[in-house]
Amino acid sequence: MIQAQNISYSIGGTQILTDISVRLCAGEFVAVLGSNGAGKTTLLKSLAGELTPEASCLQIEGRNYSQWTMHELALKRAVLSQNIDVSFRFQVMDIVLMGRYVHSHGYDGARDYEVAELALRHTDAYQFKDRIFNTLSGGEKQRVQLARVLAQIWNSDEKNAARYLFLDEPTSSLDIEHQYGMMTFIKRFAKKNVGVFCVLHDVNLAATFADRIALMKNGRILAQGPTESVIQSDLIEKTYGIAVKVHRGKEFQKPFIVPVYEEV
Partner 1 sequence: MYVVKRRKLVILNSVFTVFLLVVALLAIGVGPMSATPMEVISILLEKIGFSLAQFTAAQESVILNIRLPRILAAVLVGASLSSSGAALQGLFRNPLVDPGLIGISSGAALAVASMIVFGRPLIDMLPEAMGLYVLAGIGFLGGMLATLIVIKIANFSGRILVSNLLLSGIAIQAVTFAGIGLLQFLGDDQQLRMITFWMLGSLGGAMWSSTGVLGILVMISTIYIIRDSKQLNLLALGEREASHLGLDIERLKKRIIFFVTLSVGASVSVSGSIGFIGLVVPHLVRLMFGADHRFLIPISVFVGAILLLLSDMMARTVVAPAELPIGVITSLIGGPFFIMLILRNKKIF
| Contact string 208-227 vs partner 1 (x = CB under 8 A) | --------------------
* Residue 7: strand pairing partners: 20
- Rounded Cα distance between 253 and 264, Å, is 31
Instruction: Please state the φ and ψ torsions of residue 39, each to the nearest 5 degrees.
Output: 105, 15
CB of 77 to partner 1, least distance (A): 8
88 binds partner 1 per the rule CB under 8 A = yes
- Binding partner 1 (rule: CB under 8 A), the pick from 4, 26, 38, 79 is 79
Binding window for partner 1 (CB under 8 A); candidates: 12-20, 72-80, 169-177, 189-197 = 72-80
136 belongs to the binding site for partner 1 (CB under 8 A): no
d(CA 60, CA 73): 9
Near partner 1 by CB under 8 A: residue from 34, 39, 53, 99: 99
Q: How far is the CB of 130 from partner 1 (least distance, A)?
A: 11
Of the residues 36, 66, 87, 253, which one makes contact with partner 1 according to CB under 8 A: 87
201: which residues sit within 8 A by CB, 6+ positions away?
Answer: 33, 169, 172
How far apart CA 147 and CA 47 sit, in angstroms, is 21
| x-marked contacts with partner 1 along 41-60 as a string, rule CB under 8 A | -------x-x----------
Q: Where are the alpha helices (DSSP H) in the chain?
A: 40-47, 70-76, 92-98, 110-122, 138-152, 176-190, 203-209, 227-230, 233-240
- CA-based nearest residue to 210, from 232, 222, 225, 220: 225
User: Of 18-26, 76-84, 214-222, 227-235, which part binds partner 1 (CB under 8 A)?
Assistant: 76-84
Query: Longest Cα pair distance anywhere in the chain, in angstroms?
Result: 62
Residue type, 148: R
Q: CB–CB of 141/170 below 8 Å?
A: no
Choose, by CB under 8 A, the member of 22, 55, 86, 150 that binds partner 1: 86
User: Can you tell me which of 152, 171, 179, 227 binds partner 1, judged by CB under 8 A?
Assistant: 152
CA 168/CA 41 separation, integer angstroms = 7
Interface residue with partner 1, options 3, 90, 187, 254 (CB under 8 A): 90
Give me the 164-203 binding string for partner 1, x by CB under 8 A, dash otherwise. Answer: ----------------------------------------
CA distance 49 to 47: 5
- Which residues are near partner 1 by CB under 8 A? 48, 50, 70-71, 73-75, 77-79, 81, 83, 85-91, 94-95, 98-99, 101-102, 107-110, 112-113, 134, 148, 152
